[in-house]
Amino acid sequence: MAFWRTAIFACAIFVGLLSPAVAADSVSLFSGKDLTGWKAFLADPAVPMEKVWSVKDGLLVCKGEPIGYLYTEKPYTSFQLLVEWRWAPGTKPGNSGVLMRINGEPKPVPRAIEAQLKSGSAGDLYGFHGMKINGDPARIRQNSSNQMLGSMTGVLKTEANEKEPGQWNTYEITVKGPSITVSVNGKQVNEAKDCEVLAGPIGLQSEGGEIHFRTVRLTPLE
């Protein structure tokens, strides 16, 4: 019996060493059970949130239509955010994004900073409707005439590190004051500076194409 107790204890230690460290003050924004703590804004107000956003087999499922976003009831300013996502297996990947520091008048694409989730573009950062963001001049893109996005500034990623559509990807986003860094699947692919600092909800976009989330975990940095 002593041998088996020792073996079990050793296995427990080994598994613990393999498990990712979770900060003591981190919070899971998605419980895997329901949408407690979230609200939604959709371009078509007649469509109920549950028609677009639902929980199935522990996953947060977004159907992608109509356009809009799910957002946290609580505002956040500086934080580390871990998001795991995939495009629905067997379907054409679409567009989505992780929205941060949402503010201003509610609209289909709100005033916010976005970490892009569009297939092939994960790691790009954007500021919508004049939301201030800056970075390497060689990777800056601007558009002042987009009706839906307003005055937009983008900081493109340095390289792609997404997996094939249908496979799980991991975003690690650190938002600390005016700085934002983004890692995709363990590799840092972008950094922005001089970002507008204010408190606002975190959001997940509905923007065409079914997308799944299994982890949305936040660690406050303030």
- The domain total for the chain is 1
**16 occurs within a structural domain:** no
Residue 192 counted as domain residue: yes
Assess if residue 59 is contained within a domain: yes
- Does the residue 13 lie in any domain? no
**Which residues constitute the domain of residue 102?**
23-220
Phi–psi pair at 58, nearest 5 degrees? 80, 5
In a domain, 185, yes or no: yes
Closest C-alpha to 72, from 208, 210, 199: 199
Q: Let me know if residue 140 belongs to a domain.
A: yes
- 8 A C-beta contact, residue 85 and residue 213: yes
Tell me whether residue 12 is in a domain. no
Q: What is the mean pLDDT of residues 162-188?
A: 98
Q: What is the pLDDT of residues 28-42, one digit of tens each?
A: 999 999 999 999 999
Q: Which helix (H) or strand (E) holds 188?
A: strand 187-192
- The CATH number given to whatever domain includes residue 206 is 2.60.120.560
7 within domain boundaries: no
Give the pLDDT confidence of 120-153 residue by residue, as tens digits. 999 999 999 999 999 999 999 999 888 899 999 9
Residue 21 has pLDDT above 60, yes or no: no
**Which residue is listed with tokens 């909800």?**
201
Question: Taking all residues of the chain, what is their mean pLDDT, rounded to a whole number?
Answer: 91
